[in-house]
């Protein structure tokens, strides 16, 4: 470890517990924990799942899963920041993702093309329509969908990518769907972690 992970200062003091302390910002961090987080990030970005990462590096499966949750939160934030930086909306269309052909478990979101990049916004919860039958839901969706398109090429490419992306998982809990959507968005846009936020605790 040559530099502070927080301020990049080059003078570090080694403490008795093995942690390092920066001479400039005075913050402490664990080089072992930082290295482990970086390995998990790199392997996850390369397509390995939590089980594969934990077995390959002899890491706790639970710690890998928890770290990937943090990575997905960061991915969502990067997607948000990128959209707010540009926000030049070209076109948009609503999409209904239906896992295992079960419309009552569908997820509804708006996909936006902004200058060749993709951004997604979650829309109404399908639980609001649980008293309707499948034909009524589909009819209502077609009549009320939000749409402004010209050629839709980038949006359609993302939808195709997302459908393939989700097939890797045997099911995603409803309260986690947003983060999987944002992970797909992050990867599709080929965004990068320029400087990862690393917690020392």
Exposed, middle or buried, 141 (CB in 10 Å: 0-12/13-18/19+)?
middle
| Angle formed at CA 194 by CA 44 and CA 37, multiple of 5 degrees | 40
Determine which of 15-19, 90-94, 111-115, 130-134 has the lowest per-residue pLDDT on average: 130-134
pLDDT of residue 199: 45
For residue 62, being part of any structural domain is answered with: no
For residue 21, being part of any structural domain is answered with: no
Q: Which residue has the tokens 């080059």?
A: 10
58 pLDDT more than 90: yes
170's tokens:
């045997």
106's tokens:
């569908």
Q: What confidence tens digit (pLDDT) does each residue in 154-165 have?
A: 999 999 999 999
Per-residue pLDDT, averaged over 190-195, amounts to 82
Per-residue pLDDT, averaged over 82-87, amounts to 85
Instruction: Tell me if 92 sits within 8 A of 112, measured CB to CB.
Output: yes
76 pLDDT more than 50: yes
pLDDT band per the 50, 70, 90 thresholds, residue 149: low
DSSP 131-171: TS-HHHHHHHHHHH--EE-SS-HHHHHHHHHHHHHHTTSS-
Instruction: Tell me if 36 sits within 8 A of 144, measured CB to CB.
Output: no
High-pLDDT (> 90) share of the chain, %: 46
- Chain centroid, CA 48 distance in Å: 15
For residue 41, being part of any structural domain is answered with: no
Helix (H, G, I), strand (E, B) or coil at 84: helix
Q: How far apart are CA 20 and CA 13, in angstroms?
A: 5
For residue 67, being part of any structural domain is answered with: no
pLDDT band per the 50, 70, 90 thresholds, residue 127: low
Exposed, middle or buried, 102 (CB in 10 Å: 0-12/13-18/19+)?
exposed
User: Highest mean pLDDT range out of 9-13, 102-106, 130-134, 161-165?
Assistant: 161-165
Q: What confidence tens digit (pLDDT) does each residue in 180-190 have?
A: 999 999 999 99
For residue 13, being part of any structural domain is answered with: no
SS3 content of the chain, % helix, strand, coil (to 5): 50, 15, 35
Q: How far apart are CA 20 and CA 71, in angstroms?
A: 24
Q: For residue 134, what are the domain limits?
A: 72-201
For residue 113, being part of any structural domain is answered with: yes
129 pLDDT more than 60: no
Q: How many domains does one find in the chain?
A: 1
- 109: phi then psi, degrees, rounded to nearest 5: -145, 160
Q: What is the pTM of this model?
A: 0.80
For residue 37, being part of any structural domain is answered with: no
For residue 2, being part of any structural domain is answered with: no
Q: How far apart are CA 50 and CA 190, in angstroms?
A: 21
């Amino acid at each position: 470890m040559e530099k502070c992970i927080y301020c990049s200062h080059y003078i570090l003091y080694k403490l008795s517990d093995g942690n390092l302390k920066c001479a400039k910002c005075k913050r402490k961090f664990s080089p072992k924990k930082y290295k482990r987080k970086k390995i998990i990030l790199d392997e996850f970005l390369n397509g390995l799942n939590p089980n594969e990462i934990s077995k390959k590096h002899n890491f706790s499966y639970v710690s890998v899963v928890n770290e990937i949750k943090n990575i997905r939160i960061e991915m969502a934030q990067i997607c948000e920041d990128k959209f707010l930086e540009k926000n030049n909306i070209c076109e948009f269309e609503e999409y209904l993702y239906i896992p295992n052909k079960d419309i009552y478990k569908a997820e509804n979101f708006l996909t936006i093309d902004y200058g060749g990049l993709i951004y997604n916004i979650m829309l109404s919860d399908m639980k609001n329509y649980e008293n309707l039958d499948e034909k009524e839901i589909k009819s209502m969706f077609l009549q009320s969908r939000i749409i402004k398109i010209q050629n839709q090429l980038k949006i359609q490419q993302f939808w195709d990518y997302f459908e393939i992306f989700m097939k890797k998982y045997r099911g995603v809990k409803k309260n986690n769907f947003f983060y999987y959507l944002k992970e797909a968005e992050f990867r599709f846009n080929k965004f990068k972690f320029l400087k990862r936020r690393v917690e020392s605790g």
